[in-house]
Amino acid sequence: MCGILGNFGHIERHDFLDHIKKSTYLMKRRGPDQTNFIDIENFYAVHSRLIVQGNVADGTQPITYKNIVLLFNGNLYNKESLKAELKSLGYVFKGVSDTEVVILSIYHWGNDAFSKFNGFFSIAYFNSDKKSLTLARDRLGQKPLYYLSNDQSVFFGSTEALVPKKYYGKFRKESLIDFITFGFLPAPNTMFENLKSVEPGNFINFSFVEEKVRSDKTHAYWQPIISNDVENSEAAIELISNALEHSMKEGMEASIDVACLFSGGIDSSLIFSNARSRNNSLCAFTADFGEFDDADYRSISLATALGHDNHIVKDIAEIDVDSSLNSTSEICESPFDDTSIIPSNIIFSSVKDAGYSVALTGDGADELFCGYSSFGNLYKLERFLDKKFDFLLRHPGKILQGLLSKFKPYDLERIFMKENDLLIDLSCNGFKKREWESLIDYDYDPFHYLNAILKDLDGLRPLDKLRILNLKFKLPYQMLYKVDRASMYNSVEARPLFLNNKIVDAALSISSSVMLAEGQKTILKKIYQNQIPHSGWNLPKTGFGWKTDDYQNIYSDKDNSYMINRTGINGLSLLKNRKRHHKRGYYGLFSLVSWLRMHEKIKAPSQEV
């Protein structure tokens, strides 16, 4: 993995060089092994590298080939097949790094190369002939990339803080509502008006003409499409089993030793068992919260059944949690409400302390294989979303809404929702709009992100739509944001092997009925039973969050007064209205206040919101 930052167009030399000096610490976290820069007309960029493939002399960046200068952060699973194709076209390779494959692919195919890449990446490349800059992210947004532009310059970086703060612009008031509603910030927006995030599966071009920067519209090179080609369980199981084997072969390739995160759940167990079949000395890491957790039991039980000894269980102590809480705004440079960032940071720290820089993970399986309870809930409600039930459910629902809202532990209102309203509700992990709209007086609807996705999904069944929403919304902005930030904060490359293109494309070909034939994550449970001599497939899903009942103290009356003063929002009133997942609510407000304190000098909206 790597850190990248750069300036295109007019080089703001004094400000940018000062920013580079201040960013050394952040760049070193993302790439501790090697740092280099390039300074040419209209382009100045810095690259810090975590060496996973090749060595200090192979894969060095920024890399130049003829008129192309490349900064690449990521890993290509299909580098060997692309290399063979490029060799057949007459290209010659000097080393083993995937960086060389990326730059030659871009030189030959241009932006069409992005759709050929199987892996995770953020890319910035400069074309010196055309005086153009292109920024791109992988299909699902596993690697981040931020930028801001004006008519003179473009600045870009791997994370928010790697883009010069001087040009951020004003605090974006709408982003407060986005965060409160979703618990994260959806691309392309950030907490600042001028700072943007490249959207997953997209690229954007900039040109420098007559001393002015011109920006093109964002181009999508990939969209998830559910084909429903596979409507047979046996065929689906075989398809995913083969794709998983393919992913393991490609995903374990590295010039250094690879570790594996192993909670004992279905996803990580499948990755672990398949990985150890290729390397039986593989080191597995488990995070356990003690009395609030059973990860040690689950993982040790399976490791013992498989006869695997190289297994490290990290017992998470209070001091570990406090350390993560104190580093909240350093790990996540934007507000973020998912408490699993805490154990994620701790376990990646343990991986690094044990001498590893690459870790396999099972992230993405819930979104691909319908693992969340929202899928199961929708599967039960789906038949009642037909318009023929409107008279019986939707109209009486308006009358009963006030009564139902009093049953706080339950979301009974969902029974009476229209299809799109229900899909949006299931996609909001923060405070529901019905929980905050009476407390925040601001004319802004955060659902525009979700409605923009849904408008292209007409004709699909509700479950298919929810699967797409998870892949395009929840997965990149919550799950993969967390994985990148927690891993790279500790200088570890995380490889979510379920997100290999082969598995993603295979999963999208399977009908939702097959996916949920015997409950959530049916296919992976069947593969587990076929491959692993253990009963872990039948254990209940527990999630990977902060396992504690002592969370109320992280957001105090003092914090709430500060929140009101800075934003005009009363967090304690929000918590009072919240029906479920109060731990997440408290942590989200704690994260927001921590972020606001880190950005004291930037004026935030107060009573305007």
Higher per-residue confidence, 500 vs 536:
500
Q: 568 in a domain, yes or no?
A: no
Q: Are residues 214 and 230 in the same domain?
A: no
How many structural domains are present in the chain? Answer: 2
Q: What is the mean pLDDT of the chain?
A: 91
Give the ranges where 490-543 is alpha helix by DSSP (H): 501-508, 512-515, 522-531
Q: Are residues 275 and 248 in the same domain?
A: yes
Q: Are residues 181 and 56 in the same domain?
A: yes
* Chain segment 483-494, per-residue pLDDT in tens: 999 999 999 999
Q: Are residues 181 and 237 in the same domain?
A: no
| Least confident span in 128-142, 328-342, 570-584 | 570-584
**Average pLDDT of the segment spanning 239-260:** 92
Q: Are residues 42 and 166 in the same domain?
A: yes
Question: Among the three residues 184, 199, 220, which one is the final residue of a domain in this structure?
Answer: 220
Q: 435 in a domain, yes or no?
A: yes
Q: Are residues 298 and 433 in the same domain?
A: yes
**Average pLDDT of the segment spanning 512-520:** 96
Question: Among the three residues 522, 543, 564, which one is the final residue of a domain in this structure?
Answer: 543
What is the domain range of residue 413? 224-316+348-543
Return the structure tokens found at 77.
């699973």
Q: Are residues 412 and 307 in the same domain?
A: yes
Question: Among the three residues 220, 246, 277, which one is the final residue of a domain in this structure?
Answer: 220
Confidence of residue 500 (pLDDT cuts 50, 70, 90): very high
Distances from the Cα of 351 to the Cα of 173, 265, 284, 400, angstroms: 38, 19, 9, 52
Q: Give yes or no for residue 399 having a pLDDT over 60.
A: no
Q: Are residues 529 and 414 in the same domain?
A: yes
Q: 23 in a domain, yes or no?
A: yes
Q: What is the CATH number of the domain that holds 388?
A: 3.40.50.620
Q: Are residues 106 and 237 in the same domain?
A: no
pTM of the model: 0.94
Q: Are residues 33 and 111 in the same domain?
A: yes
* Chain segment 360-388, per-residue pLDDT in tens: 999 999 999 999 999 999 998 888 786 65
Q: Are residues 215 and 235 in the same domain?
A: no
Q: Are residues 211 and 238 in the same domain?
A: no
CA distance 276 to 283: 9
Q: 605 in a domain, yes or no?
A: no
CA distance 506 to 528: 17
pLDDT at 387: 64
Instruction: Return the DSSP state at 55.
Output: B
Which amino acid is residue 438, in one-letter code?
S
Q: 104 in a domain, yes or no?
A: yes
Higher per-residue confidence, 585 vs 552:
585
pLDDT at 605: 64
